[in-house]
Amino acid sequence: MIVVGAGLAGCEAAYFLGSRGVDVELWEMKPKKFTPAHSSEGFAELVCSNSLKSDDIYGNACGLLKEEMRRLGSLTMRAAEVSRVPAGGALAVDREKFSAYVTENIRACKHITVKCGEVCALPQAGIVATGPLTSDALMRDIEEKFGSQHFFDASAPIVSAESVDREKTFTADRYGNGTGDYLNCPLTEEEYKLFVRELLGAERAKLHTFEKNEIFEGCMPLEVMAARGEDTLRFGTFKPVGLSDGGGKRPYAVLQLRKENAEGTMYGLVGCQTNLKFGEQKRVFSLIPALRGAEFLRYGVMHRNSYLRSPEVLNADFSVKTQNGLYFAGQLTGVEGYVESAMSGLLSAIHVWNALNGRQSRVPEDTSVCGALSRYIATPNKHFEPMNANYGILRPLDVRDKKEKRRQMAERALAEIENFKAYCGI
C-alpha cells in the first residue's frame, strides 16, 4: 500500500496498516523539499497552534472525536498523551516531542518503508494525504483530474517565556477549569483601544490571488476580526469573561498565553493568527503591557490551503468515485483541524483494511463525530467548505437540556464506535 505524505493523516494511515502487517511505502518529500509552512524534518509536524482543542468528551464535539479515535487505536492520540503540556480543558502538546513520538513509531514499524522524495503524480492506488500545502506538481495533477478549491489560514506568534513581564500578568484558567495553565495579559480600556487602532493600521504581508472571502473562519487573522468592530476582539479572542485578576476584578480585555513546550520556555499568543509583516507584529503586540519587552521566537504567517470539491470526488469512505483503490485523507478532503485530519487518515486506512480482508465498506453512522464528518465531505453541497468537529453535523437528538443532550450524544457516539470496531475486527 502506498501512502503519500507523512503529516497527521498520512502517519495515521501508514501506522494503522503497517501495525497490522500490511506492507506500506510511506512517501514524504521532507527534508529534500519543504512547504512554505514546514521547517522540521520530523513527521506529523504541527505548523499552526500546538492545541488539539478541547478534551471534554461530554461537552465538546472535538473532545468526543478524540475519544472515538482513542478507541480506534489512534497514533495521534497516543502521541498527544505522551507530549501534552498543561492547557486547562484543552489538549495541547509539545510540538517537538509530539512529532518525535510519531516519527519514532513510524520508523520502528517493520512493515513501513519510508521513501524520501516528492511524488509528482497521483498513484493508481493508495492513500494520498499530502495536506493543504500539497506540492505544486502533485497539485496540478490533482486539479487536472478532480479540480480543487482553496482558502487562506494563518498561524499565531510565539514568544520567549522569560521575556514576558510576569508582573503584568496573572495566572488563571477561564472559569477555573484547569490548574493555572494560562498566563493572562490584561489590558485597560485605553490600552485595548490603542492596540486595536494600531492593529488595524498596521501593514500586512502581501498575498497573491488573495480575496477576503477566501479566509477560513476558523483561522481568521486577528486584524480581519478587529475590522468588524472595535469590540469584536473583546467578545472573542481577548474576552475577559470567566477570568479575574488577583484582586477578584475582571479586566477590560485579556490576551492569553499558552505553553508551547513541556519546559515552559515558549508561549503562544492564543487566537492571534495574523498576516501582519514581521516588524509590524513585534510593534503592535508589544503594545500589550506584558509583552513590551517580548522576544518573538516565531512570527505568525498566512498561507494558501487547497482542498478537493469532495462531494463531487469522494465517497464517504474517502475513496475516489472514479478510480478504484485510490483514497484521499487529511485536510485535502475538506476536514479542518489537526484532530479531524488525523481522523480521516485513520478512517481511510480502516476502509482499506476492510477491503483487504474482503469486507464491504462500512462508514460509521452520523451519530458519531467521525461518521458525521465522513458523510459531510461526501454529501452534495453547492457551497462546500472545510468543516471541523461540531454538534451541528451530528444526527439530531430531541433532548431539551443542553448538558444532558451532549452526554447522551457522547454515549450514542461511543456505542456506534464499538459497533464499528466489531464489524472491522479491530
Burial (CB count <10 Å: 0-12, 13-18, 19+), residue 25: middle
Local confidence band at 36 (pLDDT 50, 70, 90 cut-offs): low
Percentage of residues in the chain having pLDDT higher than 70: 95
Report the pLDDT value the prediction gives residue 171, as an integer from 0 to 100: 92
Reported in sequence order, the residue ranges of 14-131 that DSSP labels E, i.e. its strands, are 24-28, 51-54, 84-85, 90-93, 112-116, 126-128
Average confidence score pLDDT of the chain:
91
pLDDT surpasses 80 at 262: no
Measured CA distances, 189 to 171, 192, 231, 244 (Å): 20, 5, 11, 16
Report the pLDDT value the prediction gives residue 214, as an integer from 0 to 100: 52
Closest CA to 172 of 185, 158, 187: 185
Residues 268-300: tens digit of each pLDDT: 999 999 989 999 999 999 999 999 999 898 888
Report the pLDDT value the prediction gives residue 392, as an integer from 0 to 100: 87
> Which pTM does this prediction carry?
0.76
Residues 332-348: tens digit of each pLDDT: 999 988 999 999 999 99
Residues 50-73: tens digit of each pLDDT: 899 999 999 999 999 999 999 999
Report the pLDDT value the prediction gives residue 211, as an integer from 0 to 100: 39
Distance of CA 138 to the CA centre of its chain: 23
Q: Which CATH class is domain 158-303?
A: mainly beta
Q: Where are the domains of the chain?
A: 2-148+308-424, 158-303
Report the pLDDT value the prediction gives residue 313, as an integer from 0 to 100: 96
Same fold, 2-148+308-424 and 158-303: no
Report the pLDDT value the prediction gives residue 195, as an integer from 0 to 100: 97
Strands 126-128 and 2-4: parallel
Helix ranges restricted to H, 286-331: 310-313
Counting every residue written for the chain, the total comes to 426
pLDDT surpasses 80 at 38: no
Report the pLDDT value the prediction gives residue 222, as an integer from 0 to 100: 93
User: Angle, nearest 10°, between helix axes 75-83 and 8-18?
Assistant: 110
Measured CA distances, 244 to 210, 268, 339, 348 (Å): 40, 21, 31, 45
Question: CATH code for 2-148+308-424?
Answer: 3.50.50.60
- Supply 135's cell numbers: 506540492
84 pairs with which residues across the strands? Answer: 93
Report the pLDDT value the prediction gives residue 67, as an integer from 0 to 100: 98
Q: Coil, strand, or helix at residue 414?
A: helix
Report the pLDDT value the prediction gives residue 212, as an integer from 0 to 100: 43
Asked if 276 contacts 302 with a C-beta cutoff of 8 angstroms, the reply is: no
Report the pLDDT value the prediction gives residue 217, as an integer from 0 to 100: 55
The better pLDDT of the pair 262, 240 is held by: 240
The rounded distance, in Å, linking the Cα atoms of 324 and 331 is 21
Distance of CA 43 to the CA centre of its chain: 15
Closest CA to 2 of 352, 404, 302: 352
Residues 102-135: tens digit of each pLDDT: 999 999 999 999 999 999 999 999 999 998 888 8
59: DSSP letter: T
pLDDT surpasses 80 at 35: no
Asked if 323 contacts 141 with a C-beta cutoff of 8 angstroms, the reply is: no
**What are residue 16's phi and psi, to 5 degrees?**
-60, -45
- Supply 415's cell numbers: 456505542
**What are residue 226's phi and psi, to 5 degrees?**
-60, -30
Report the pLDDT value the prediction gives residue 88, as an integer from 0 to 100: 85
Local confidence band at 189 (pLDDT 50, 70, 90 cut-offs): very high
Report the pLDDT value the prediction gives residue 210, as an integer from 0 to 100: 39
The rounded distance, in Å, linking the Cα atoms of 240 and 256 is 10
Q: Average of pLDDT values for 89-102?
A: 94
Report the pLDDT value the prediction gives residue 326, as an integer from 0 to 100: 98
Q: Average of pLDDT values for 236-262?
A: 88
Report the pLDDT value the prediction gives residue 219, as an integer from 0 to 100: 65
3 pairs with which residues across the strands? Answer: 26, 127
The rounded distance, in Å, linking the Cα atoms of 236 and 227 is 13
Residues 207-235: tens digit of each pLDDT: 644 334 455 555 688 999 999 999 999 99
Report the pLDDT value the prediction gives residue 81, as an integer from 0 to 100: 97
Q: Average of pLDDT values for 377-399?
A: 88
Element (H, E) at 100: helix 95-108
